[in-house]
Amino acid sequence: MQRIGVFICWCGSNIAATVDVQKVAEVMKSEPGVVYSADYQYMCSENGQQLIKQAIKEHNLTGIVVGSCSPRMHEATFRKTAEAAGLNPYMVEIANIREHCSWIHKDMDEATEKAIILVRTAIAKVKLNAPLMAGESPVVKRALVIGGGIAGIQAALDIADAGFEVDIVEKNATIGGRMAQLDKTFPTLDCSACILTPKMVDCAQHEKIDILSYSEVEEVKGFVGNFSVKIRRKARYVDETKCTGCKICMEKCPSKKGLNSFNMDLNTRPAIHIPFAQAIPNVAVIDPEQCIKLKTGKCGICQKFCGAGAIDYEQKDTFIEREYGAIVVATGYKPINLDAFNEYGYNDNKDVITSLELERLMNAAGPTNGVLLRPSDGEHPKVITFIQCVGSRDSSGCGKPYCSKICCMYTAKHAMLIREKYPDTEVHVFYIDVRTPGKNYDEFYRRAVEQYGVDYIKGMVGKVYNENGKLMVQGSNLIDNEQITIESDLVVLAAAIEPEPSVRKVATLLTASIDTNNFLTESHAKLRPVESPTAGVYLAGVCQGPKDIPETVSQASACAAKVIGLLAKDKLKTNPCVAIPDESMCNGCSQCANVCAYGAITYENKEFRLGGGKTEIRRVACVNPAVCQGCGACTVTCPSGAMDLKGFSSKQIMSEVEAICKK
């Protein structure tokens, strides 16, 4: 039999001025199950809490109801009070007689009557409460970072510096990501490699960081604090432990015609190669599609010349399984495919290039050694036209509806760099809007216009066509309300960016939600911007939304802070108000798993006794209490009512409904 104590708070005059608190306390004395009822000026005060503790002990209370302010205010306080007196903290219910009663009603009789009903409702509920124990799950003190671009590198370094082990899984042969391909970075124009490569080296040298390059995540099991991840280490045909990065193999390899993807396919590379000079790890990889030995069985020249004996044509994909407490997703982006935009002639003219290709053409380590030469004939372009918003802000279905965010700034950067290096070059930029919200960003853009004389044209390009070897760029000049055609030597398209496609697979593995544009969804757009709704999964960089390097780095560090906060704990306290299936009633119909946003529900075949010595094997739902967030979506979906929610059980809510409606 439940022994309930009721405590009515005056909250000074906040409640007492409109609710006759003494009357409420008095009425409750005769409620069935209530063995103690009192009122006090401030229940949340030291003395008020003392009163509660004493009553719990003296009257052997099994549950208490506090009629006070909103549970959002002091539920936690009173739970602690109860716990201190030896009562399970979940045997506490709050009747909100301040925000929902005294503050909004003026008539004392009316407000008192309502307060009585609200307290009764809380009593009805607390009678059905059951002691709940916050579960505990251990935390594996190691983090996984998926993606080795600047986001992943920064997150890994920050986590490792706090003393936790970190693995970086990178699908390419080297870490560095998109930033490694860039020439200069806005708004300060530092050389990208000069600021990135030291960080890459730090990663390689950090004793807490393990770089798993040329690897992909294959399978993820478990939950926050306890992920178990299977990682595929793709065969690179070179023994990572032996290769010294001497590059002799690259020199000797007879198959040199492979497109160099690091240089955006603008030049070629050998079948065995190190992606770029500062690659980490500085280890070669063989492209099996291109290698003569792997394709025909004949050749083997690299093996002959490798002094370290690192070449291994027999290598196969291998798998490793590791445990992690937290996972950071930093899978990055790629420029969109421009096939749908034939008006810009990208596929038909070699001299129509994307901005990322221009980065490589201007980079000292690029295909032209940093001299800006146009791809078609290797001449210096004299007139260069930039087109912004190619595929961004496009709701027609060809492109992306969002703003890619980085293009305005990098276009200004390109225009400026070209005008500085080649002052005789004419540079035009077609823009719809120039968006430069960021520290020193607008100043940067204005410098391109004012100091470097870049010609910004408000308007969009309608078509680019080739006439006698010249690229004719026809577009609007909206300010002058005219249509202009610019005879150009090089056209640069600011192609929209989109999440790296592999993010879809990663999201599925992690049960992390993804939006219609394939960006990973954050837990709360404003207040939890680096957390995925899936507990223990964090988001850094463009996989969550377009952003530039400074923003990416900040987000990565924010992720690291969250991860460190998680890994610093030895055990995770789990919310005990989670879903719980009654196996004897579960049909195993999968409807609950279909609505679970967290992937907390799995199924297993269990044996049940039928009586008479017979047994039956049935598929039943299992809820992982560490993953369940307690929303209750599953409880309503369950046709048999086998699924219930602790702390908000069907019976509890029904009893509240009854208490309110009973006239």
Minimum CB–partner distance for residue 270 and another protein (Å)? 41
Scanning residues 316 to 375, which ones bind another protein (CB under 8 A)? Answer: 343
- The verdict on whether omega for the bond into residue 281 sits within 30 degrees of 0, i.e. cis, is yes
Scanning residues 198 to 227, which ones bind another protein (CB under 8 A)? Answer: none
Question: What are the phi and psi torsion angles at 373 (to 5°)?
Answer: -125, 140
Q: What is the DSSP string of 148-202?
A: -SHHHHHHHHHHHHTT-EEEEE-SSSSS-TGGGG-SEETTTTEEHHHHHHHHHHH
Q: Which of 106, 298, 439, 609 binds another protein (CB under 8 A)?
A: 106
Residue closer to another protein by CB (options 60, 590) is 590
Instruction: Write the interaction track for another protein spanning residues 389-408; mark x where CB under 8 A is met and - where it is not.
Output: x---xxxxxxx---------
Minimum CB–partner distance for residue 562 and another protein (Å)? 18
Scanning residues 603 to 642, which ones bind another protein (CB under 8 A)? Answer: 603, 616-619, 629-633, 635-637, 639-642
Q: Which of 461, 506, 543, 567 binds another protein (CB under 8 A)?
A: 461
On the 0-12 / 13-18 / 19+ scale of CB atoms within 10 A, 484 is: middle
Q: Which of 26, 110, 321, 443 binds another protein (CB under 8 A)?
A: 110
Distance, in Å, from the CA atom of 236 to the CA atom of 212, rounded to the nearest integer, reads: 12
Q: What is the DSSP string of 135-149?
A: -EEE--SEEEEE--S
Residue closer to another protein by CB (options 274, 586) is 586
Contact 634, 595 (CB under 8 A): yes
User: Taking CB under 8 A as the rule, does residue 657 contact another protein?
Assistant: yes
Region from 190-198, 320-328, 443-451, 646-654 binding another protein, contact rule CB under 8 A: 646-654
Amino acid at residue number 40: Y
Minimum CB–partner distance for residue 9 and another protein (Å)? 15
User: Taking CB under 8 A as the rule, does residue 99 contact another protein?
Assistant: yes
Q: Which of 96, 129, 260, 555 binds another protein (CB under 8 A)?
A: 96
Instruction: Write the interaction track for another protein spanning residues 521-550; mark x where CB under 8 A is met and - where it is not.
Output: x-xx--------x-----------------
Amino acid at residue number 184: K
Instruction: Write the interaction track for another protein spanning residues 66-85; mark x where CB under 8 A is met and - where it is not.
Output: ----xxxx------------
Scanning residues 49 to 68, which ones bind another protein (CB under 8 A)? Answer: none
User: Taking CB under 8 A as the rule, does residue 465 contact another protein?
Assistant: no
C-alpha distance across the termini of the chain, in Å: 26
The number of helices, as runs of H, and strands, as runs of E, in the chain is: 18, 34
Give the HSE-up count for residue 237: Cα atoms under 13 Å, Cβ half-sphere: 20
Minimum CB–partner distance for residue 533 and another protein (Å)? 5
Minimum CB–partner distance for residue 602 and another protein (Å)? 13
**Number of residues written out for the chain:** 663
- Residues pairing with 169 in the sheet: 146, 212
Question: What are the phi and psi torsion angles at 324 (to 5°)?
Answer: -135, 155
Residue closer to another protein by CB (options 560, 577) is 577
Contact 165, 347 (CB under 8 A): no
Minimum CB–partner distance for residue 119 and another protein (Å)? 12
Scanning residues 558 to 587, which ones bind another protein (CB under 8 A)? Answer: 577, 582, 584-587
Minimum CB–partner distance for residue 318 and another protein (Å)? 34
Distance, in Å, from the CA atom of 131 to the CA atom of 133, rounded to the nearest integer, reads: 7
